[in-house]
Amino acid sequence: MPNISRVIHLGPSGVSKPDRASVFMKLEGKKISASPHIGIKAELKDITLIGYPEEDSADGSIVDQGWRSFDVLPGSEQVLLASGRDIDKVAAILVVNATVLLDPPNFRAMLESPDMSESIGPMFGEHGGLIIKHFLGSRWGKTNVGGGCYFFESETDIEAYLSSEFWANVSAETPWENVTYEMYA
């Protein structure tokens, strides 16, 4: 299995890389032109993405500092494997967050189910330019917040993905509300 982050923090720009972080990206907010079927586009801002290789290595001191912190849920590796793309080629990131209307253990259980684990990789990995979808579940704070952190090869690929029939169907069928979209270079 590929080695991907187990915890992702999204926070303000201008912070330093923590010692135990394996991923550190300064992200520039970009305007989304596509009109997704459901939800709103968040205001433009620059952020920092920090990834940790193990759950116990994640810095918990940021909880009260306005950061968003997520566990990377099962299924993410299958998307990377199915896409066949190089994770080092990421040039654009899409963050989709929402209030999940399933209890978080049930959402996690759904992603871990044999049916889902067999189909999740091909379901997402076949989309142009999509390298990996990190399935997200809130780590601290509001535990019913989830979504995805998608690594793409280009901003154009994100626009095409958000305009696709696939995304319209997935977003309409997902049990969630208060959906927001953010795009970064």
Task: Could you list the beta-strand ranges (E) of the chain.
Answer: 7-12, 23-27, 29-30, 40-41, 47-52, 68-72, 92-100, 130-138, 145-152, 176-184
Cα–Cα dist 94/84, whole Å = 19
HSE-up of residue 119 (Cα within 13 Å, Cβ side): 6
Q: What pLDDT score does 120 carry? A: 77
| % residues pLDDT > 70 (the chain) | 84
**What's the sign of the alpha-carbon dihedral 11, 15, 21, 24?**
positive
**Which positions ≥6 away from 14 have C-beta within 8 Å?**
48
Residue 11 in contact with residue 67, Cβ under 8 Å?
yes
First to last CA, the chain: 27
Q: Kindly state the DSSP code that residue 120 receives in the 8-state scheme.
A: H
> Is 121's pLDDT higher than 50?
yes
CA dihedral angle for residue 53, residue 56, residue 58, residue 62, rounded to 10 degrees:
170
HSE-up of residue 143 (Cα within 13 Å, Cβ side): 7
Cα–Cα dist 55/122, whole Å = 26
Mean pLDDT value across residues 51-60: 77
Mean pLDDT value across residues 110-127: 75
Q: What pLDDT score does 21 carry? A: 86
Q: What pLDDT score does 29 carry? A: 96
For residue 118, CA distances in Å to 2, 45, 76, 158 come to: 17, 36, 12, 24
